[in-house]
Amino acid sequence: MRIALHGTHPALDFVRPLLARNYDLVGVDDAPEALVTFGPVAAVPDSVELAVFVAVRPPVPLSARTLVIGAAPSGDGASHAGLATEHPAELLSLIDGFLRYPARFPVGDAKATANANATATARATTDAAREPVPR
Amino acid sequence: MTLVVDTVIVGAGFAGIGMGMRLARRGDESFVVLERAADVGGTWRDNTYPGVACDIPSHLYSFSFAPKHDWSRFFAPGAEILDYLRHCALEIAEHLRLGTEVLDARWTGERWHVSTTGGDFSCVTLVMAVGRLSEPRMPPTPGIDTFTGEVFHSSDWRDRDLAGKRVGVVGTGASAVQLVPRLAAEARGIVVFQRTAPFVLPRPDFEYSADDIRGFADDPASRESLRTDLFWGMETGFAARVGVPGHLDALRRSARDHLEAQVADPGLRAALTPHYEIGCKRVLLSDDYYPALAGPAVTLEPSALASIDGARVTAQGGATHDLDVLVFATGFLTTHPPFAARVFGRDGANLADTWRDGMVAYASTTVHGFPNLFVIDGPNASLGHNSAIVMIEAQIGYVLGAIDDDARVLEVSLAAQRRYTADLDSRAADTVWLGGGCESWYVDATTRRLTLLWPDLAYAFRDRLAEFDRDAYL
């Protein structure tokens, strides 16, 4: 699948190379089949069948099957998902999951990998356990 | 007399117990769990060497459907994990057949016939859950029969007391880095035979306080939250396995800093510096391995064990050592599991023969030619960066989906299996496991294919197996 990544986000340093392992990354003007955007867009290219909006709302009416991550459902016909943690791998999993299995993201459903944010204890212990990552 | 059941599960470690629990909890009572040993627990029953512990956080190295709020430590000791598994196994106690070894399992056209040391069983579904760390690997060593002392594998420790003895430890993998520091405190001297230096990272272990444990008990959501956070945090580690810029450098730098902080002697440090890419072999966690090697009780022999003559042991580099005990911490037979020789599928095909050129399975679980056989912990179902239990649970869910299917006989098509294998080979191509310049138990020695590890993030495996895909089956 040809996907275009648009916008900027700290998680992109992690998300982009891992998406590139399994998808063809192309420019927004290169007729992508999917668009993953971290910033507002005025319009979704006609070629796009699947669109993912991270922390931004899509332009309505929707022209593609759409997942909105991190913004509350607003009756716009998109699927919605929340993040339980700040780990970029979780964000990647939602993007990848939607691109592979869009039917698992019902319209309007607030899919989340867990229902609560980590506690202070959780964060402290997780930071201790995690392999070192670039800061 | 043959006992007829719907499902036979072979193995009572994490995978077998988990499979049984999930069946029992949904009301499927027609199953048995066959275990050749006298107790449950798998690798955590067998491995009782000093210092044995897990290097995945305890709240993630346990079933999501059987949480435990009172883990004593961030990384659980082996005995505590064994206790946990024994507790879990109570749920399926009436289904357990301990001391029952499978001799032969044959597909008869509609069912599996399983011959064991405890009688015969007939079942629709056969689940092999024998684990991948269950068959000790003992490298052939010239003269081993002449050794005048005691020789044993690290997974066969039992209650041995090596106080005051001269001990040789062969291997520098996960078992060795845990047992050497403990042994150093009691043995008269230790020689560590190192064929290849491992990468070692700090081990951020700690004891959970009474307040922590009470908090997890009173607020299960906080425990769940911790598990979630641990999982996604560890997922990040995959980036270093595929060379994502920055991640590999950070991991390598951490290991180097750890070595430099703990080993002052330049010669020893050089001998402990790996010459392959980090992550290619299993990355180890320890805060006391390097100090033990730097201490007076331990001698690092920077070459493999070559031969034995009586009490005298010779290393590949030519050095000799007189020893009382030899501990082989040399890992397990992983890429060609011995159980496969006992499994015969359609038309009498033998699973070991089928896997002669390396293990393959569709969805890492089912094998063409072996209807209604499900292999948990099998080909490409392990991880190098996250919890194995996540993978086991995904496979259990997949098996349950298959059991729920209307078809009485399910055999994956060869085409589907080949597509799946090709996809995995493609995903594995850019990983450090194949390109990191090392020999490891993750890779099939004959074909050089990555047959042990799932070459992607764990969530991708979980998502891939989330639904039983009937279309892939004949």
Note whether B401 and B279 are same-domain residues.
no
Q: Cα separation of B62 and B425, whole Å?
A: 29
Sole residue written with tokens 């359609």: B346
Note whether B409 and B464 are same-domain residues.
yes
Asked if residue B162 is part of any domain, the answer here is: yes
Q: Does the structure show a pLDDT above 60 at A133?
A: no
User: For residue range A38-90, what is the model confidence (pLDDT) as tens digits?
Assistant: 999 989 999 999 999 999 999 988 999 999 998 777 777 899 999 999 999 99
Note whether B344 and B292 are same-domain residues.
no
Q: Cα separation of A49 and B136, whole Å?
A: 51
Helix (H) or strand (E) holding B327: strand B325-328
Asked if residue B226 is part of any domain, the answer here is: no
Burial class for B60, CB neighbours closer than 10 Å (0-12, 13-18, 19+): buried
Q: Cα separation of B427 and B432, whole Å?
A: 11
End of a domain among B286, B302, B328?
Answer: B328
Whole domain around residue B69: which residue ranges? 2-135+333-472
Query: Domain with B160 in it: what CATH number?
Result: 3.50.50.60
Note whether B317 and B337 are same-domain residues.
no
Residues of A with CB under 8 A from a CB of B: 13-14, 17-18, 21-22, 84-85, 87-90, 92-93, 96-97, 100-101, 104, 113-119, 121-123, 125-135
CB atoms within 10 A of CB B260: 12
Residue of chain A whose alpha carbon sits nearest to that of B234: A130
Note whether B116 and B152 are same-domain residues.
no
Domain count across chain B: 2
CB atoms within 10 A of CB B213: 16
Q: What is the DSSP string of B370-425?
A: -TTEEETT-TT-B-SSS-HHHHHHHHHHHHHHHHHSS-S---B-HHHHHHHHHHHH
Q: Does the structure show a pLDDT above 80 at A126?
A: no
Query: Crossing angle for the helix pair B220-235 and B210-218, nearest 10 degrees?
Result: 110
Asked if residue B112 is part of any domain, the answer here is: yes
B237 chain-A contacts, CB cut-off 8 A: 130-131, 133
The model's confidence at residue B439, banded by pLDDT at 50, 70 and 90, is confident
Asked if residue B449 is part of any domain, the answer here is: yes
Phi, psi of B400 (to 5 degrees): -60, -40
Helix (H) or strand (E) holding B107: strand B102-107
Residue of chain A whose alpha carbon sits nearest to that of B75: A129
Distances (CA, A) of B43 to B154, B181, B247, B364: 11, 21, 31, 21
Q: Cα separation of B335 and B440, whole Å?
A: 10
Token digits of residue B65: 């459907």
Residue of chain B whose alpha carbon sits nearest to that of A131: B237
Task: Give the pLDDT mean for B341-352.
Answer: 97
User: For residue range B200-211, what is the model confidence (pLDDT) as tens digits?
Assistant: 999 999 999 999
The model's confidence at residue B91, banded by pLDDT at 50, 70 and 90, is very high
Helix (H) or strand (E) holding B306: strand B305-309
Residue B335, pLDDT score? 77
Q: Please report the ipTM that was assigned to this predicted complex.
A: 0.92
Note whether B337 and B312 are same-domain residues.
no
Note whether B269 and B389 are same-domain residues.
no
Note whether B31 and B48 are same-domain residues.
yes
End of a domain among B284, B300, B328?
Answer: B328
End of a domain among B273, B301, B328?
Answer: B328
pLDDT above 90: percentage of residues in chain B? 91
Asked if residue B41 is part of any domain, the answer here is: yes
Note whether B8 and B123 are same-domain residues.
yes
Asked if residue B204 is part of any domain, the answer here is: no
Residue A120, pLDDT score? 39
Residue, of B261 and B159, whose pLDDT is higher: B261
Query: Is B228 in contact with A97 (Cβ distance < 8 A)?
Result: no
SS3 content of chain A, % helix, strand, coil (to 5): 25, 20, 50
* Predicted model pTM: 0.93
Query: Is A87 in contact with B201 (Cβ distance < 8 A)?
Result: no
Nearest to B105 by CA among B374, B378, B449: B374
What ranges in B104-246 are assigned the alpha helix state H? 174-184, 210-218, 220-235, 238-241
pLDDT above 90: percentage of residues in chain A? 67
Note whether B32 and B103 are same-domain residues.
yes
